[in-house]
Amino acid sequence: MAAGAETDWVSRSADDVIAEAERRAPGKAIVCASGLSPSGPIHLGNLREVMTPHLVADEIRRRGHAVEHIISWDDYDRFRKVPAGIPGVDSSWEEHIGKPLTSVPAPPGSAHPNWAEHFKAAMVGALADLGVEFRGISQTEQYTSGAYREQILHAVRQRAAIDAVLDRYRTKDRPQDTAAAGQQKQQQKKGKQGAQQQPADEAELAAAEGSGAADEDDGSAGDAGYFPYKPYCGVCERDLTTVTAYDDATTDLTYRCACGHGETVRLSEYDRGKLVWKVDWPMRWKYEGVDFEPSGVDHSSPGSSFVVGGQIVREVFDGVQPIGPMYAFVGITGMAKMSSSKGGVPTPEEALRIMEAPVLRWLYARRRPNQSFKIAFDQEIQRLYDEWDALARKIDEGQAQPADLAAHRRAVGTAAGELPATERRVPYRTLASVVDITTGDEEQMLRILADLDPEAPVTDLAQVRPRLDRAAQWVTTQVPAEQRTRVRTEPDADLLASLDEEQRASLALLVDGLDTHWSLEGLTTLVYGVPKVRAGLAPDAKPTPELKVAQRAFFALLYRLLISVETGPRLPTLLLAVGADRVRRLLGV
Ligand SMILES: [Zn+2]
């Protein structure tokens, strides 16, 4: 595919990144970057931080350029608070607050060596399923191996210049700055955490931080003046340390810790501490040569780490800020149940249990980064799948618009190849109904699916997998028990006894047509046709308002007789699922 042949946002971003990278360092491999903090479950809302550079890097790769997508695991960040709702983790974890995330024990029963690795692993698994190719960089490994030694010593030598940059924002003291600082802390730097929250909530949280709150991301001013580096204590491992003296000639650094420990170390040989966030991020832009990195929408504010970082990378590290969009929040719908039972918001892993990877990719590919959208865990997921299937049909017919076509292509595969797909596009809502009604009985499901279209029957459940498994997971974990369908085991004798002649005649007409209409299409014609025939109209007559009323009443009667409520799965699907013999018995005919 020729460069620029498409008109979607990914293609335009790739154009920009390629041009910019060529201008900056001709011939160098292009670097697209993401950063994730494994401070707890990595939420679905944070996936945009990865999908945005992934899609752009993938387009660049498709065009034949050398490109790398790096994911920086911010696992050397301090453990800020004990997240709620992690099984086996209680307030006793508070003793670890202030330690690097890789020094905090993993939740009980974990197969992983520490807190950061535990939460990283779930994300790594989800990214593999999503076809996201990346190189992970552990900041713990980088810092503790001394990889950044020169950069740290340089930043410390340049601390007055860094302080001056930060001071441009400190002195302004506009209300907006205070709000931005608070919001930023809540979101852990890049909008990585809490990205699923609504802006209104963030404003409240930011306000709760109070005005003039010191921003720990800036670095602190101790006895030694402003210092952009924080040691982790040699005894308690926490960062409750203050630098009290520093000798530029020897690099001797003296700190004391809240635990009572204090010592003098030689920074040129010391690997247990890190640059403060607002210096760390621009240092790594330069170190990795990052060309493209997105950030959360809050970064348009003055004093944000992206804005400040742009000045620090230029003035202190002689580097260039990456280009990259500010991305809008991604919301979740239908999580009320899960939130109350599990105390959290879903992870990408949980989304991939109810929807296929291409569908989740599609949500990101089809919306520009500055457009917010919601990921549905409720009934809306059925409509999302309807839209997805409608697009596939348009593509089959050669009717899709170029941007839609591009988004679909990015969803179903990457430069490395196609992702697993479901062979037969049976609607998700139909599969969900079939699972619901049969409670997942494989033999019954196959019987019903085979009847849907007798001309081209589903002959093996493998033809509708993995979509069937996603729909099954959705029904069993997301559909409230009171909304599940329960087919009556015995006829409703009282209701049957109360029917009038017209109702009995309608039911008899339906039952007479069952055998000859036993397919999804046939039964659709039959259930709509019965009220027409009873009204003296032709089966293919256009519906009148009176007829629609009669149809609604007839459908409600069928639902009550079959499942004891007035609404439910689409009737043709329900009839197929219940089976002709049981339908006859429950309708009393
Ligand atoms: Zn200590």
CA 239 – ligand 1 centroid, Å: 7
| Residues 414 and 455 placed together within one structural domain of the fold | no
How much distance in Å is there from the Cα of 136 to the middle of ligand 1?
30
Helix, strand and coil content of the chain, in percent to the nearest 5, comes to: 50, 10, 35
Q: How far is the CA of 35 from the centre of ligand 1 (A)?
A: 28
The residue type of 126 is A
State the alpha helices, DSSP H only, in 187-247. Answer: 199-209
Beta bridge partners of 332: 375
Residue 330 sits at φ, ψ, to 5 deg, of -110, 125
CA 18 to chain centre: 27
510: helix, strand or coil:
helix
Rounded to an integer, what distance in angstroms lies between the CA atom of residue 375 and that of residue 47? 11
Distance CA 589, CA 583 (A): 9
Using the mean position of ligand 1's atoms as its centre, give its distance from the Cα of residue 282 in Å. 28
Q: State in Å: Cα 140 to ligand 1 middle.
A: 19
Q: Of 421, 437, 463, at which residue does a domain stop?
A: 421
**Residue 262 identity:** G
Collapse the DSSP code of 525 into the 3-class scheme (helix H, G, I; strand E, B; otherwise coil) and give the result.
Answer: helix
90: tokens are 């209680």
Of the residues 382, 398, 421, the one at which a domain ends: 421
pTM for the structure as a whole = 0.88
- Report CA(284)–ligand 1 centroid distance (Å): 27
Cα 243 to ligand 1 centroid, rounded to whole Å: 13
The Å distance, Cα 264 to ligand 1 centre, comes to 13
Task: Output the domain CATH number for residue 407.
Answer: 3.40.50.620
Q: Cα of 85 to ligand 1 centre, how many Å?
A: 28
Pick from 374, 296, 332: nearest CA to 43 = 332
Ligand 1 center to 100 CA (angstroms): 13
Q: How many whole angstroms from 78 Cα to the centroid of ligand 1?
A: 13
- Where in the sequence is the domain holding 564, given as residue range(s)? 493-587
Query: How far, in Å, is the centroid of ligand 1 from the Cα of 275?
Result: 18
571 and 473, same structural domain?
Answer: no
Residue 403 burial by CB count (10 A; 0-12/13-18/19+): exposed, middle or buried? Answer: middle
- 240 CA to middle of ligand 1, Å? 7
Q: pLDDT 10s digit of each residue in the chain, 589 long?
A: 444 455 799 999 999 999 999 999 999 999 999 999 999 999 998 999 999 999 999 999 999 999 999 999 999 999 999 998 899 999 999 999 999 999 999 999 999 999 999 999 999 999 999 999 999 999 999 999 999 999 999 999 999 999 999 998 886 554 444 444 433 433 445 654 433 333 333 333 332 232 233 355 677 676 678 999 999 999 999 999 999 999 999 999 999 999 999 999 999 999 999 999 999 999 999 999 999 999 987 766 778 889 899 999 999 999 999 998 999 999 988 865 544 334 467 899 999 999 999 999 999 999 999 999 999 999 999 999 999 999 999 999 999 999 999 999 999 999 999 999 999 999 999 999 999 999 999 999 999 999 999 899 999 999 999 999 999 999 999 998 888 999 999 999 999 999 999 999 999 999 999 999 999 999 999 999 999 999 999 878 888 999 999 999 999 999 999 999 998 999 999 999 999 999 999 999 8
CA of 450 to the centre of ligand 1 (A): 67
Separation between Cα atoms, residue 121 and residue 1, nearest integer Å: 35
Q: At what angle do helices 149-157 and 277-288 cross, to 10 degrees?
A: 130
**Cα-to-centroid distance, 274 and ligand 1 (Å):** 15
Q: Are residues 509 and 477 part of one domain?
A: no
CA of 256 to the centre of ligand 1 (A): 8
- The residue type at 37: S
Q: What DSSP designation does 91 have?
A: G
17 closest CA partner among 71, 73, 55: 55
Q: State the DSSP code for 218.
A: T
Question: Ligand 1 centroid to 74 CA: how many Å?
Answer: 22
Residues 133 and 280 in one domain: yes
The answer to whether 301 touches 177, Cβ cutoff 8 Å, is: yes
Tell whether 510 and 578 lie within a shared domain: yes
Number of domains comprising the chain = 3
Instruction: Examine the domain organization and report whether 277 and 335 are in the same domain.
Output: yes
Measured over the CA atoms of residue 421, residue 427, residue 430 and residue 436, the dihedral's sign is positive
Amino acid 271: pLDDT: 96
User: What is the CA(103)–ligand 1 centre distance, in A?
Assistant: 14
d(CA 71, ligand 1 centre) in Å: 30
Of 103, 81, 359, the C-alpha closest to 193 is 81
Kindly state whether residues 426 and 416 are assigned to the same domain. Answer: no
Tell me how far the alpha carbon of residue 157 lies from the centroid of ligand 1, in angstroms: 25
Residue 438 identity:
T
Angle in degrees, 0-180, between the axes of helices 402-412 and 357-366, rounded to the nearest 10 = 140
Reading the block at residue 222, the tokens are: 């101790």
Ligand 1 mean position, distance from CA 233 (Å): 4
How far apart (Å, rounded) are the C-alpha atoms in residues 477 and 341?
11
Residues 457 and 501 in one domain: no
The alpha carbon of 226 and the centre of ligand 1 are apart by a number of angstroms equal to: 21
Q: How far apart are CA 329 and CA 202, in angstroms?
A: 11
pLDDT of residue 169: 86
One domain, residues 116 and 237: yes
DSSP for 431-487, please give it: HHHHHHHHTT-HHHHHHHHHHH-TTS----GGGGTTHHHHHHHHHHHHS-GGGS---
pLDDT of residue 477: 92
Distance 72 CA to ligand 1 centre (A): 27
CA 234 to centroid of ligand 1, rounded, Å = 7
In the reported structure, the alpha carbon of residue 213 is separated from the centroid of ligand 1 by a whole-number distance in angstroms of 24
First-last CA distance in the chain: 62
As a whole number of angstroms, the distance between CA 352 and CA 363 comes to 13
- Maximum CA extent, the chain: 103
Which pLDDT does position 176 carry in this prediction? Answer: 47
Residues 415 and 473 in one domain: no
Q: At what angle do helices 149-157 and 159-170 cross, to 10 degrees?
A: 60
CA of 231 to the centre of ligand 1 (A): 10
The answer on 546 and 467 residing in a single domain is no
Residue 254 Cα, ligand 1 centroid: separation in angstroms?
13
- Cβ 97 vs Cβ 82: under 8 Å: yes
Q: Which two tokens stand for residue 14?
A: 């790739």
CA of 91 to the centre of ligand 1 (A): 20
CB neighbour class for 141 (10 Å; exposed up to 12, middle 13-18, buried from 19): middle
> Measured in angstroms, how far is the CA atom of residue 265 from the centroid of ligand 1?
14
Q: 465-474 as b/e, with b when 16 or more CB fall inside 10 Å? A: bbbbbbbbbb
560 and 511 share one domain: yes
> How much distance in Å is there from the Cα of 337 to the middle of ligand 1?
41
In the reported structure, the alpha carbon of residue 162 is separated from the centroid of ligand 1 by a whole-number distance in angstroms of 27
Tell which of 395, 421, 447 closes a domain: 421
CATH number, position 542: 1.10.10.350
Neighbours of 266 (CB within 10 A): 11
51: its two tokens: 């999908």
Distance 334 CA to ligand 1 centre (A): 44
**What gap in Å lies between CA 578 and CA 575, rounded to an integer?**
5
- Rg, Å, the chain Cα set: 30
